[in-house]
Amino acid sequence: MRYRTLTLMTLLMIMSSAQASEATDQLLQGYRDQGAGPFSAEAGKAIWYATYPSTEAPQSRGCSDCHGASPADGGTHLRTGKTIDPMSPAINPERLTDQKKIRKWLLRNCKWTLGRECNWQERGDLLTFLQQTR
């Protein structure tokens, strides 16, 4: 019985990982169609760990301020105090499986953190970084 449960959980994680990959791959292709690419996990990592001046807060902020030191970690939103689950699909199989949610949160979080929308290249670099984080 325990073996079946473990096997079922493993299969579900593989399926979720495939969904994340498919949704992200489709978005990345759309960004390429807009003229972006090639995408770089290193560039995405640099965006993740950079800090940006805030017009709302007295201090600068970055992605890792809310999401945690690594996308494999969870975090806490600075303003609301809500818990944020890990962004890495390798750790949290529900991440990056829904294109609509990905677009929504990239738009909202880029505006809040960077003070502007991320361009196609930045979005692709961030998604590439998140996909590769373990």
Q: pLDDT tens-digit profile of 10-56?
A: 434 444 345 458 999 999 999 999 999 999 999 999 999 999 987 76
CB 48 within 8 A of CB 123: no
| The pLDDT value given to residue 12 | 41
Q: What is the mean pLDDT of residues 92-111?
A: 94
CB 84 within 8 A of CB 67: yes
| Confidence band of 78 (pLDDT split at 50, 70, 90) | confident
φ/ψ (deg, to 5) at 103 = -60, -45
Asked if pLDDT for residue 57 goes beyond 90, the answer is no
Asked if pLDDT for residue 123 goes beyond 80, the answer is yes
